Amino acid sequence: MTAALSDVPQLVLNGVMSGAILTVPAIGLTAIYAVLRFPNFAVASHATVGAFAGYLANVMLGWPLVPAALAAFLVAGVIGVVSDWVVLRPLRPAGLITVTIASVALMIALENLVRLGFGNALRDYDLPILRDWRFAGLRVGPQQLEDLAIAVVAVGVLFAVLHLTRVGKAMRAVADNPTLAAIKGIDAAKIALLVNFVAMGLAGLGGMLIGLDTSIDPLTGFRTLLAVFAAAVVGGLGSIPGAVMGALTVGIAEELSQLALPPDYRTVVGFLAILLVLTMRPRGLLGARSY
Amino acid sequence: MGNYLVAMSVTAGIYALMALGVNLTWGLAGMVNLGLAGFFAVGGYVTALLTKAGAAIPVGMVAGALVAALAGAVVALITARLRADYLAIVTLGFSESVRIVAANEIWLTNGSDGIAGIRGPWRATVSPTAYNLIFLAIVLSVLIVVLFVMHRLAAAPFGRVLRALRDDEDVAAVAGKTVLLFKVKAFAIGAGVLGLAGTLYVHDTSYIAPDIFAPLLTINIVLALVLGGVGNNAGAVVGAVGLVILLEGSRFAAPLLPFLSAAQIAAIRELLISGLLLVILRILPGGLVPERVAPE
């Protein structure tokens, strides 16, 4: 069933909401790319790990939403650091293709660890069911607004850290020019560790935010993989402000695609966005060195 | 047991074909293909639809390989000027998109139920045992032809240019090679071989559905290739045989763990495959049969 033209304002609103949530894992992906220069497909499984960590905190321990979201961030971040240190870091000298393929293998391995523990069943967070708010003919769920707020705060904190703190400046320096950063005495290995923690933490938080809207299962992260990559590529791989713009663009495009396509094709929209950008403007909307 | 071994040899032959296709693009040209399941699927669906519509099986198979090659050429054209990581993203996106289209265009592909009852060569006229043997002979003949062609391609000037591209694109361009054309050709041939493997697969099993093309298939083939040694055609075949022994061996091990659910056993198998790939990438970067680089 496709949507009607009169639904456009509602679709755009939905797109902004889902795009804002998509921003969180997309920043994770693009940040790793900026510093380590490879597309880390394991972002998908870290989103799943975060979604399940948040689920454990929320449903098993009974934590409210915000502490559970923090748990999702921390657990995914720690697993991100450990898995990178043990699995991907030793392979980096072998070259781009090897590390990229290893990240796919890591993605499948982590996803199956979650499956081993939790099975394939769909699981729901323990959240109060609230009536949608209506204004000016538009519908929005209070839960969606809370998810949006968490996403906005997370991204806001990240921007503040990157621009206002010493460590944030060091991260940007390494991304911008690793050689110059090394000359200035910045320890690139330490920065890589930190970026992995923050980026995979964001992937985990993003996985949970995506799961809050529906249900979660071991494939939660993988299903959003193309949208996350589309957001990062559309914005320009390696550019964090680009990831924000890319995520909003992809979020809105996915919703508007329902005017012409069945909802199952949302994922394909992300792929088409990637193709379009790579054909017309490979650097992406804001990226400067994604070639 | 004899039937079982024949069936497993067919599977190994199809995996070997896929590994050869990937070896040309990855091993020689240094182009990564994370969506090889998608090209395999394109070949399979094309021949399934054509032979269902009445076309002869060889016609369906050639058409399947050609359409897959065409898809590969388009993918390579879009990404050829970009860094290898974009190819990784686009190929993975391609295979996922193929899967989603196959699952949703029910009028064409019968959706996730898949297409059953696809014809096999002489299946209707001979006994199942004889059929398996005939099919094994077909797979092995195709494999030998492709192996020979790949061997010639690797030794030919074409193969040398691809290796030059892999090692340094700029140098190859300065030497007057049209980098874009070589990359597109290599990727199209590789995708065509993957499509051909897909056509063999559906005529063997008589069935095709979107589930078959999960990312794990890609990891399986990458594992076969890495096991055998990237860049080496004989290694691709050795790796495929090793992979099938491994996959089947883990199937026999499953009853030893009766306290696990089916989903958990599947999870352990996938963990083993992906974990093994990571271990081999780490300790055996050249594979079991490393590429011999001719002395300069």
Residues B176-217 pLDDT 10s: 778 889 999 999 999 999 999 999 999 999 999 998 888 888
pLDDT digits (tens, 9 = 90+) for A79-118: 999 999 999 999 988 888 889 999 999 999 999 999 999 9
The arithmetic mean of pLDDT across residues B30-37, rounded, is 89
What pTM, to 2 d.p., does this model score?
0.91
pLDDT of residue A153: 95
- Burial environment of residue A4 by CB neighbours within 10 A (0 to 12, 13 to 18, 19 or more): exposed
Contact B41, B95 (CB under 8 A): yes
A214 CB-near residues (< 8 Å, 6+ apart): none
CA distance A272 to B112: 22
Q: What does pLDDT average to over chain A? A: 91
Asked if residue A228 has pLDDT above 90, the reply is yes
Q: What is the secondary structure of B31-56 as a DSSP string?
A: ---TTHHHHHHHHHHHHHHHHHTT--
Q: Which residues pair with A135 in a beta bridge?
A: A138
Residue B295, pLDDT above cutoff 60:
no
Q: Which of B86, B64, B66 is nearest to B202 (CA)?
A: B64
C-alpha–C-alpha distance, residues B36 and B55, integer Å: 26
Rounded Cα gap, residues A135 and A138, in angstroms: 5
Long-range contacts of B80-84 (CB under 8 A, 24+ apart): B80/B179, B80/B180, B80/B183, B80/B184, B81/A282, B81/B180, B82/A278, B82/A282, B82/A291, B83/A96, B83/A291, B84/A96, B84/A97, B84/A100, B84/B30, B84/B31, B84/B32
With beta carbons under 8 A apart, name residues in chain B contacting A222.
Answer: 215
**A125 in helix, strand or coil?**
coil
Residues B244-290: tens digit of each pLDDT: 998 888 777 777 777 788 888 889 888 998 999 999 988 876 665 66
Question: Where are the domains positioned within chain A?
Answer: 9-218
In tens, the pLDDT along A17-61 reads 999 999 999 999 999 999 998 999 999 999 999 999 999 999 999
Q: What percent of chain B has pLDDT over 90?
A: 51
Does the predicted interface ipTM exceed a cut of 0.95? no
Mutate which of A43, A91, A275 to disrupt the B interface (most B C-beta within 10 Å)? A275
Of all residues in chain A, the percent with pLDDT exceeding 70 is 98
Please indicate whether, in this complex, the C-beta atoms of B85 and A291 are within 8 angstroms of each other. no
Tell me the per-residue pLDDT of A58-77, one tens digit each, with 9 for 90 and over.
999 999 999 999 999 999 99
Q: How far apart are CA A125 and CA A8, in angstroms?
A: 30
pLDDT category, A291, cuts 50, 70, 90?
very low
Is residue B146 a contact partner of residue B193, using CB atoms and an 8 Å limit? yes
Interface A:B, Cβ pairs < 8 A:
131
Q: pLDDT band for position B291 (50/70/90)?
A: low
- What average pLDDT score do residues A164-169 get? 90
Q: Nearest C-alpha of chain A: how many angstroms from B28? A: 13
pLDDT for res B239? 92
Answer positive or negative: Cα dihedral of A203, A204, A206, A211: positive
Min Cα separation A150/chain B (Å): 29
Q: What pLDDT does A94 receive? A: 84
* CA B272 to mean position of chain CA atoms: 20
Provide the pLDDT for residue B248: 85
Confidence band, pLDDT 50/70/90 cuts, at residue B10 = very high
What mean pLDDT comes out for the span A162-190? Answer: 88
A52 touches chain B (CB under 8 A): no
Containing H/E element for A140? strand A138-140
pLDDT at B289: 60
Q: Report the percent of chain B where pLDDT is more than 70.
A: 96
Of the given ranges (A3-7, A11-15, A18-22, A73-77), which has the lowest mean pLDDT? A3-7
pLDDT at B123 over 90: no
Put simply, whether A120 touches B (Cβ < 8 Å) is yes
Rounded to the nearest angstrom, the minimum Cα separation between B11 and chain A is 22
pLDDT value, residue B64: 97
Q: Which residue has the higher pLDDT, A229 or A289?
A: A229
Closest to B33 in 3D by CA, of B12, B19, B47: B19
pLDDT of the residue at A1: 54
- Two tokens at B62? 């050639």
**Do residue B83 and residue A119 have CB atoms under 8 angstroms apart?**
no
Of A98, A222, A271, the CB nearest to B281: A98
Pairwise CB contact (< 8 Å): B94 & A264: no
d(CA A171, CA A223): 30
**B85, A115: Cβ pair inside 8 Å?**
no
pLDDT at residue B167, as a whole number: 81
**Preferred mutation among B32, B33, B105, B281 to probe A, highest tally of A CBs within 10 A:** B281
Closest to B194 measured CA to CA, from B37, B78, B60, B9:
B37
Average pLDDT over residues A115-134: 88
Give the DSSP per-residue string, B83-141: -HHHHHHHHHHHHHHHHHHHHH-HHHH-GGG-B-----TTTTTS-HHHHHHHHHHHHHH
Average pLDDT over residues B115-141: 90
